[in-house]
Structure 1
Amino acid sequence: MSKHANEGNLTGLLEELDREIEGDISLGDILEHFNSRGFGPLLVLPALLVLLPTGAIPGVPTTCALFIVLIAGQLLLGRRMPWLPRRLARFSFEHRRLTHGVERARPWTRRLDRLLKPRLSFMTRGVAYRGIAALTILLATAMVPLELVPFAAALPAATLLLLGLGLIGEDGLVILLALLVLLLDIATGFWLVG
């Protein structure tokens, strides 16, 4: 099997990250390993870090949000090779936390993998692609203050995960699902405030 055979497969991405990066895992490692695969994996992986047990580590949601904002911002500016500030690139967590999270998530990621397939692909290209990049900046920015509320950062992270999956699988239906989840997030936010 080729190194990138599972690039449209969430389970494969996670298992590759767990298998091929040794020692503590930094955001710089993730960028270096996956930046040739497009924006999808670089959106999915930090969103998953927030949703998995690693998201309970103080600072992880905010750091992942900064990662996403920087990558999406560079995408909007037309930069082909993303760059991270050294301090952000060095942010890391223990490998065992990722391994534990991958094991727990595997049954769910396999179900998601079966649902992904190319359809409504116009939602993943051109103007829509840049629109997704702009939306991810807004969602990632929202994760920063939400880190102060237990598990609240998971709401925008779930939407970011779906957007990334839609890009990886060129699945516009999943992008539309992400937009529906976003509307539910906004409605939940208004309900909590009210």
Structure 2
Amino acid sequence: MSEHAKDSGLTALLEELDREIEGDISLGAILEHFNSRGFGPLLVLPALLVLLPTGAIPGVPTTCALFIGLIAFQLLLGHRTPWLPRRLASFSFEHERLTHGVQRARPWTRRIDRLLKPRLGFMTRGIAYRLIAALAILLAATMVPLELVPFASALPAATLLLLGLGLIGEDGVVILLALAVLLADVVAGLWLVG
């Protein structure tokens, strides 16, 4: 794994976000701080905001979905420096909520970090990278209506988290796991509807 990937494990990303962004956490600050790291952290962090206790704040799942969808769309267009509309960039929540969530999640994130390693690299580069961006747009779009059902946005957020972790760790196996989770979600959804 590259030095970049080693330094960007899930635990390190969360701790860096908690430590280096002062005051309330805004989506604009997340974009500005982590933009140079590629698409992985920009998928992982908003997905985690939905999965952590911050996801219970009304509007957080939809706002994070808009963030992910907009960044992914710009990636598909080939933009190297994504931007956010001012209103979306200014969306924020209390730093204390993040600190609490990071502390609770740390034992789990450390376990996840130990599992990440470079495998099936072709799944994290080239055309696969663009396909992941397209999939992220679709998943983000499902999060918006799912916010109306308590905790339902966690399903696409979990898939987005795995996709982002796969990109960060250059781990194609985790990308495949994300696709398996997505397939299971689709099958379960069709079964519930039918």
Give TM-score scaled by structure 2 length: 0.96
Task: Give runs of aligned pairs for residues 71-150 of structure 1, distance below 5 A.
Answer: 71-150=71-150
Q: Which runs of 5+ in 2 are unaligned?
A: none
- Give the match's secondary structure for 1:151: coil
8 Å Cα contact 1:48-1:157 kept in structure 2: yes
Percent identical across equivalent pairs?
85
**Alignment RMSD (CA, Å):** 1.0
Separation of aligned partners in 1, 2:5 and 2:76: 28
Letter aligned with residue 13 of structure 1: L
TM-score for both structures, normalised by structure 1: 0.96
How many Å separate the matches in 2 of 1:170 and 1:124?
6
- Paired letter, 2:43: L
Could you say which residue in structure 1 is the equivalent of 2:7?
7
Q: CA deviation at 1:160?
A: 0.1
Structure 1 match to 2:68: 68
Q: How does 1:28-67 map to 2 (within 5 A)?
A: 28-67=28-67
AA aligned opposite 1:131? L
CA shift, 1:46, in A, is 0.1
Could you say which residue in structure 2 is the equivalent of 1:170?
170
Q: Deviations over 1:90-121 (max 9, x none)?
A: 00000000001001110110000000000100
Judge conservation of contact 2:25–2:92 (CA < 8 Å) in 1.
yes
Give ranges in structure 1 of 5+ residues lacking alignment. Answer: none
Paired residue secondary structure (2:144) = helix
Is residue 11–residue 113 contact of structure 1 (8 Å, CA) maintained in 2?
Answer: yes
Q: Note closer, same or farther for the CA distance 1:25–1:6 as it changes in structure 2 (3 Å cut).
A: farther
Contact kept, 8 Å, 1:42 with 1:68, in 2: the verdict is yes
Displaced runs of 4 or more, over 3 A? 4-7
Secondary structure of residue in 2 paired with 1:145: helix
